[in-house]
Amino acid sequence: MYLMKDITRDGDPVLRQEAADVQFPLSAEDRKLADDMMEYLVISQDETENEKYKLRPGVGLAAPQVGESKRMAAILVPGEFEDDEPLFKGVISNPVIISHSVQDGALDMGEGCLSVDEDVAGFVPRHDRITVRYQNLDGETVKLRLKDYPAIVFQHEMDHLHGVLYYDHINQAEPWAESEDVKYIK
């Protein structure tokens, strides 16, 4: 089980590397990586469990964040209400954005990252809607259309696979400058 001490932090070169493709069928090692990353998310979203293990809550976790430079990320986006089905729960490998909206979107609270200890404030403009292609744990190719919050989460995780951190996208001079061209997502 991963703890905060296992999460790589900003400054570790692995977070700035281009991750390598994942091969299918998954090796036993990669399968465990996937399971352990998803386990982190599940536990981190449980209020009593995350307190017990002192985990920062997460809706996504990319392999470079646990020191593995591989194009794999776990994503667990909860539904609106407790007991709702998650909007997305899965481990994605070799994801690619195959198309995106002209419309940009940004979370209205900005973003945080488990690998960045000090929150960097400001809007993180991304695509509001994306079509992604990735492989699931069975190696099947999946094509998915996403918008708003889940689309932002996917893009944050895919950035990690390219060595990009969320604050790279923040307007340094005016971090909270609103733009006509960006949809702000609650």
Is 39 among the catalytic positions?
no
Query: Measured from the CB of residue 111, what is the shortest distance to Ni ion in angstroms?
Result: 8
Subset of 59-98 contacting ligand NB4 (CB under 6 A):
59-62, 65, 78
Inter-residue contact 125 to 182 (CB < 8 Å): yes
Q: Give the nearer residue to ligand NB4 in terms of CB position, either 62 or 137.
A: 62
Inter-residue contact 3 to 39 (CB < 8 Å): no
The residue behind tokens 């646990």 is: 66
Is 152 a binder of ligand NB4 (CB under 6 A)?
Answer: yes
Is 157 a binder of ligand NB4 (CB under 6 A)?
Answer: yes
Is 105 a binder of ligand NB4 (CB under 6 A)?
Answer: no
Residues of this chain that interact with Ni ion (CB under 5 A) are 113
Pairing state between β 104-107 and 182-185: parallel
Q: Give the nearer residue to Ni ion in terms of CB position, either 109 or 139.
A: 109
3-class DSSP state of 60: strand
Inter-residue contact 133 to 146 (CB < 8 Å): no
Q: CA 26 to CA 72: how far, in whole Å?
A: 11
Annotated binding residues for Fe cation, written as ranges, equal: 113, 156, 160
Active site residues: 157
Binding site per annotation, positions: 113, 156, 160
